[in-house]
Structure 1
Amino acid sequence: MTDIDQQFAQAQSDVTQLPERPGNLTLLRLYALFKQASVGDVQGEKPGFTDIAGKYKYEAWAALQGTSADDAKARYVELVESLKRGEAA
């Protein structure tokens, strides 16, 4: 396991232990970065207008298209670290 993989795994654990729940936009960023890091580019059909949450998740993930898995992992780790310090919410 590489260093970034270890940091990514630790960040996944840390995110469940945050002192306060992040805001919806931050949760979308976390979701999109996690999906890009673990699955790759967005897959499947974009949800319709009746699935608002699904549509936003899809769009957030699609915005990261072409981002490498290691870059997405590093950005995820950075975001979780900033949340642990209380810098972003």
Structure 2
Amino acid sequence: MNDIQTQFDQAVAASKSLPERPDNATLLRLYALYKQAVEGDVSGEQPGMTDFVARAKWDSWKAQAGKSSDAARQEYVALVESLKDD
């Protein structure tokens, strides 16, 4: 297992016990970076306008399109570290 994968796995675990719950925008960013790191570019249809949560998640993930898994992992780790420091 490479070093960034280990750091990512640790950050995922740490994200579940942050001192404060992040705001919704930060939660969406964490979600999008996680999905990009694990699954790659978003696929499937964009959810409809009436499904606000699913659409926000899809849009946030779509914004990460083209980013490599390792780059997404690195950004996820950095974001979780910044949240732990707050």
TM-score normalised by structure 1 residue count: 0.95
Structure 1's unaligned 5+ residue stretches are none
**1:74 CA displacement:** 0.1
Distance in 2 (CA, whole Å) between partners of 1:44 and 1:34 is 17
Identity, % of aligned positions: 56
Matched, 1:39 2:39: yes
Moved over 3 A (4+): none
Residue pairs, 1:23-62, within 5 angstroms: 23-62=23-62
* TM-aligned CA deviation for residue 76 of structure 1: 0.1
Q: Which has the higher helix share?
A: 2
Which consecutive unaligned segments of at least 5 residues does structure 2 have? none
Considering only aligned residues, what root-mean-square deviation do their CA atoms show, in Å?
A: 0.4
Following the alignment from structure 2 to structure 1, what is the Cα–Cα distance between the partners of residues 19 and 66?
32
Where do residues 1-89 of structure 1 align in structure 2 (5 Å cutoff)? Answer: 1-86=1-86
Query: What letter corresponds to residue 5 of structure 1 in structure 2?
Result: Q
Distance 2:33 2:24 in 1: 14
Match of 2:66, SS? Answer: coil
- d(CA) in 2 for partners of 1:12, 1:6: 10
